[in-house]
Amino acid sequence: MGRSAKLTALVPPPRAHLTRFHGIFAPNAKLRAQLTSSGRGKRPPADEESTGANGDHRCPDETRRSMTWAQGCLNFLCFNRISAVPSGSWAHTQTATAGDFMPLSATPALAQRTALMTPIGVERMGDAADGLRNPRVLRLENLDTDLLPPLPALELTVSEVRNDDANSYLPFFGHDRLRRAATRLVERNGGLASEHYDWRRQCFISAGGLSGILNAVLALIDPGDEVVLTSPTYVGLINRVKLAGGVPRYARMLPGPTGWRLDLQSLQDALSPKTRAFLMMSPSMPTGAVFNREEWKAVCDACIQANAWMIYDSAMERILFKDAPRLNPLQFPGMAERTVTVGAASKEYRMIGWRVGWILCPLAAAEVIGRVAISNVVCPVGIAQQAVAVALETDDDGIASCAATWQARHDFLVTALRPQFDVIPAHGGWSLLIDFRSRGISGAEASRRLMVEGVAATSMENWGLDETAGFLRLVYANEPLDRLRDIAPRFNRAFD
Ligand SMILES: Cc1ncc(COP(=O)(O)O)c(C=O)c1O
């Protein structure tokens, strides 16, 4: 089958209501008319809705300024070059209800704090891959895993549905058993004395790790403060810093044939009198880079030098490949009193859907983090907490054997795609990056070509410094080895 025929088979036709003008969503005339009307239930019939043939893709400034939330969502998708949205999808639903919003003239101003936030890309790729409804598509675009959570956690989840205590707002900061277990875990992994933390005052359960990160940045930084992250880094972390009014500063990671190394000079260059916090992760997402002792020491020294907070994202801390060092900032002198650890059940324990994370912080930060936590998600998911507590308590958590399985998949991909492609090996985590700069194409173009061959993978523009636009991420946690076997021919066809 020729490439264009395959593309037609794999990718549904674009929805005409998603039109673009200079990367900004501009509704077609019919949708604009709905948005300016005050009536409800003004959705046109589906066939009319998808015409959009007026050729007028201009969006007057006034209209653009007055975008409703629904438009904003579509804007977000279109800015991210959505070309195919399956009907019945989230974007489609939002369009259908756009006419329900108030007239433009009455729309209040939008908050500016989202202005600098950028698309993630994964949601676009996930929707596009889902929309293909083709089981042959390799799902390497999203951080997911096919490996099961610890069995005792699964069993307890089922019974918790009938537990009245789990169906309560209390305790606001999380169930005692889970707070104790999370506190012990962070103490153990950090090499701290047991009861270093008072779990009643210094441990907060959050609705997933990323919600915990947001709580931490909201509590610790003021608008205009600078936060040091590595580049590449997860754009969801960058956006959370921006949402809190912070300014990201990047320490570069340098790609090489054996993996990523921190550019120590760029770490120094990222510091300024405005540095208020570091937001660090190892193994890191998306690179799978694992800091060695020298790198952690440099980061911790810089943090102390700047008298800054260390927000440590420990979500993948023990997803380490053979021989990767198991280090974290709590193990370095002077760091315990400035480190806020944010953990998650999603990755190590494969409990993504439970939405449970934890924050362990020094006493000096506890009051403010508690204020944010209670103002954000009250309370964490009740029916999930006991199950996560059990996962944290059991010796049979499966983390080491899952890490070995993920490493085998990683190693297979590296071997299969080298030397034709600049694959930068990971040393842990769930994903690796391929550098397409030497081929003169962007990660976005690589992603588009691979989708034609049924490989869903997310490009890295916006995930740090501008140079990240040349990279593509492959998630190796989600597809078993036997499904990865024909990855090399698929790549070769895409880039012939
Ligand atoms: C960088 C990073 N940190 C932490 C997490 C864990 O967050 P959550 O528990 O909310 O899924 C994720 C999940 O994707 C992540 O990408």
Q: Give per-residue pLDDT as tens, 204-221.
A: 999 999 999 999 999 999
Tell me the three-class secondary structure of 312-363, residue by residue: EECCCCCCECCCCCCCCHHHCCCCHHHEEEEEECCCCCCCHHHCCEEEECCH
- Identity of the residue numbered 253: M
pLDDT of residue 52: 28
Q: How far is the CA of 30 from the centre of ligand 1 (A)?
A: 39
C-alpha separations of 441 from 435, 460, 467 in Å: 9, 13, 12
Order of all β-strands in the sheet with 431-435: 422-424, 431-435, 471-475, 458-459
As a whole number of angstroms, the distance between CA 207 and CA 228 comes to: 24
Exposed, middle or buried by CB within 10 Å (0-12, 13-18, 19+), for 368?
Answer: middle
As a whole number of angstroms, the distance between CA 210 and CA 376 comes to: 12
Please report the atom of ligand 1 found closest to the CA of residue 347: 6
290 close to 427: Cβ distance less than 8 angstroms: yes
pLDDT of residue 107: 80
The single-letter DSSP state of residue 428 is B
What's the CATH number where 448 sits? 3.90.1150.10
Shared domain for 292 and 336, answered yes or no, is yes
Shared domain for 248 and 310, answered yes or no, is yes
Tokens coding 449: 């070509």
Is residue 121 in a domain? no
Q: What is the pLDDT of residues 168-217, one digit of tens each?
A: 999 999 999 999 999 999 999 999 999 999 999 999 999 999 999 999 99
Q: Which of 336, 368, 393 is the last residue of a domain?
A: 393
| Structural domain range at position 413 | 132-148+399-495
Q: Is the pLDDT of residue 247 over 50?
A: yes
Please report the atom of ligand 1 found closest to the CA of residue 212: 10
pLDDT of residue 378: 85
Shared domain for 434 and 359, answered yes or no, is no
Q: Which of 330, 359, 393 is the last residue of a domain?
A: 393
DSSP β-ladder status, 471-475 and 458-459: antiparallel
Shared domain for 408 and 447, answered yes or no, is yes
Q: What is the pLDDT of residues 432-459, one digit of tens each?
A: 999 999 999 999 999 999 999 999 999 9
Where is mean pLDDT largest: 8-17, 106-115, 357-366?
A: 357-366
Q: Name the residue of 217, 347, 475 to mutate for ligand 1: max ligand atoms within 8 A of Cβ.
A: 347
Is residue 349 in a domain? yes
Is residue 292 in a domain? yes
Q: Which of 393, 412, 443 is the last residue of a domain?
A: 393
Cross-strand pairs, 309: 277
Q: Roughly how many angstroms between the first and final C-alpha of the chain, as a whole number?
A: 15
Shared domain for 368 and 411, answered yes or no, is no
Tokens coding 120: 């993630």
**Lining residues, ligand 1, CB within 6 Å:** 143, 208-211, 234, 236-237, 281, 285, 313, 315, 344, 346, 352, 357
- DSSP assignment of 256-322, as one string? ETTEEEE-HHHHHHT--TTEEEEEEESS-TTT-----HHHHHHHHHHHHHTT-EEEEE-TTTT-B-T
- DSSP assignment of 222-250, as one string? -TT-EEEEEES--HHHHHHHHHTT-EEEE
C-alpha separations of 185 from 163, 179, 193, 236, 325 in Å: 26, 10, 11, 25, 18
DSSP β-ladder status, 309-313 and 357-360: unpaired
Pick 59 or 168 by higher pLDDT.
168
pLDDT of residue 41: 26
